[in-house]
Structure 1
């Protein structure tokens, strides 16, 4: 078990900071015109954006996965499918799989701030190119919740809505408000807690409120197995 001081050192990213020039991250776009095959978008790449099916008139939903995940795994694609069934939108996955890879969880934690800042820069680019900021919704799972929190902070809290799905708690116990998703990161932050508690209890999500509205299905810690 690490001491609080050791945990704080990890959160300050002094040991595992990633060189921005070596970052491997991708923004993968799906729309109803390309529901199965993604198109990759890049920060400040106007040509790629114009050549894609991105429709600035439609809502934009951006999802960031968690530790050991990726933008094309089962949960990422399931969320994509549900959104595209519900509405004609631009659905974008932040695929940061190489920076979130296991088994080195502290390193993945240390990469959250960088990926979040880059995601915020990506949103700024989309808005600059005509996307309606009022129709942008960021969603993040586990470590991805803190990624979109940082993105919102990069946007000075002007994102209309951020949804956190079980924001990761391990190594964030002593983190500052700038390092975790909270209600200052968007105009409306909603949190869904389904695995809240301490790691020694087999839980990985934040056990206390973070947003404007926090939901605790079945008490927020243990969910029925289907």
Structure 2
């Protein structure tokens, strides 16, 4: 798994640095110029097709199939099109589903040691992707009822802004350990939120005071595996943070992440939930049933992580 570069010094700078466009190095990041939309389908596996923004000739020349559902993947800080949220997630989605998969490569904005600068770019990235999706719907290429947007870390917040800029009409958004530093629980307008789509589900793997994730009940359904702070088999925050992607990929293969409903976040953090439940993380029925609440499940230390019971 690709290593996410996070140091104690960088985190200290993050906590002390406000989001401020005026502090950005030049030339400034421009989402409409710098973001790439990389399309993968079963027809072009391993050879993504770069879609041109709001370009009919481009999408007609691509392997995009309007009759199939669309999954949109967005990476996090310091990542690019080689990250697991791109390569492994796309591969597993296409193994199990005949989908269109668009990977949003905003590495021109994310690959900077200035975390605050990268965090400041998730809004324009989300606006850019929302503009493309809205154009695709207007031209008959997509039905918002068949769109899932999945984002990791900063990408989870970018996914939230995709939803905000499409009027909360997308079918589902899944946030994989949404980033914590500089994103406030009390500011839903500045982060991923339950109102960003018809259903918003979040997985929290590295919350807490010194974690890399926000670690709070901010979505319609929030899952806290192993308490949501430190993941079994991990010795670092980076490992626990990245574990969110590993769990999601495994959920595509054979979803055994069967949870218990919790009354409070404290219950989830203490792994002391006994309020029933029987819900699977990242199950399509969660969106159809408008699942809401706080959930906990345990994992193994090493893959396969899921402990079952297994979904048919």
TM score, norm. by length of structure 2: 0.66
Which residue does the alignment assign to 1:67?
Answer: 77
Q: Is the 8 A contact 2:73 2:150 kept in 1?
A: yes
How far apart are 1:172 and its partner, in Å?
A: 1.2
Choose 146-155 or 120-129, whichever is displaced more. Answer: 120-129
Measured against aligned partners, the alpha-carbon deviations of 1:125-161 in whole angstroms (never above 9, x if no partner) come to: 2212221211000000000001110010000110110
2:77 partner SS = coil
Task: Kindly state the Cα deviation for residue 121 of structure 1 after the two structures are TM-superposed.
Answer: 0.6
Alignment partner of 2:144 out of 133, 137, 140: 133
Whether 1:112 aligns to 2:106 is no
The superposition leaves residues 156-180 of structure 1 with CA deviations (integer Å, 9 ceiling, x where unpaired) of 1101100000000101137722110
Q: Deviations over 1:62-121 (max 9, x none)?
A: 010000011232442100011111110001100000100131111101111111100111
- Segments of 5+ residues of structure 1 without an aligned counterpart are none
Structure of higher CA gyration radius:
2
Whether 2:58 is the aligned partner of 1:48: answer: yes
Q: For residues 94-173 of structure 1, what are the structure 2 equivalents within 5 Å?
A: 94-130=104-140, 131-173=142-184
TM-score by length of 1: 0.90
Does the 8 A contact of 2:184 with 2:191 survive in 1?
Answer: no
Query: Quick check: 1:93 aligned with 2:68?
Result: no
- Residues 1:43 and 1:23: Cα distance change in structure 2 (over 3 Å): closer
Instruction: State the aligned residue count.
Output: 220
Instruction: Detail structure 1 runs of 4+ shifted over 6 Å in the superposition.
Output: none
- The aligned residue for residue 308 of structure 2 is none
Structure 2 residue aligned with 1:220: 228
Distance 2:108 2:194 in 1: 28
Partner of 2:78, secondary structure, is coil
Cα RMSD (Å):
2.1
Distance 1:47 1:68, change over 3 A: same
Work out whether residues 57 and 132 of structure 1, in 8 Å CA contact, stay in contact via their aligned partners in 2: no
Q: Report the alpha carbon displacement of residue 42 of structure 1 after superposing the two structures with TM.
A: 2.2
The whole-number CA distance in structure 1 between the counterparts of 2:54 and 2:231 is 42
Question: Higher RCO, 1 or 2 (CA under 8 Å, sep at least 6)?
Answer: 1
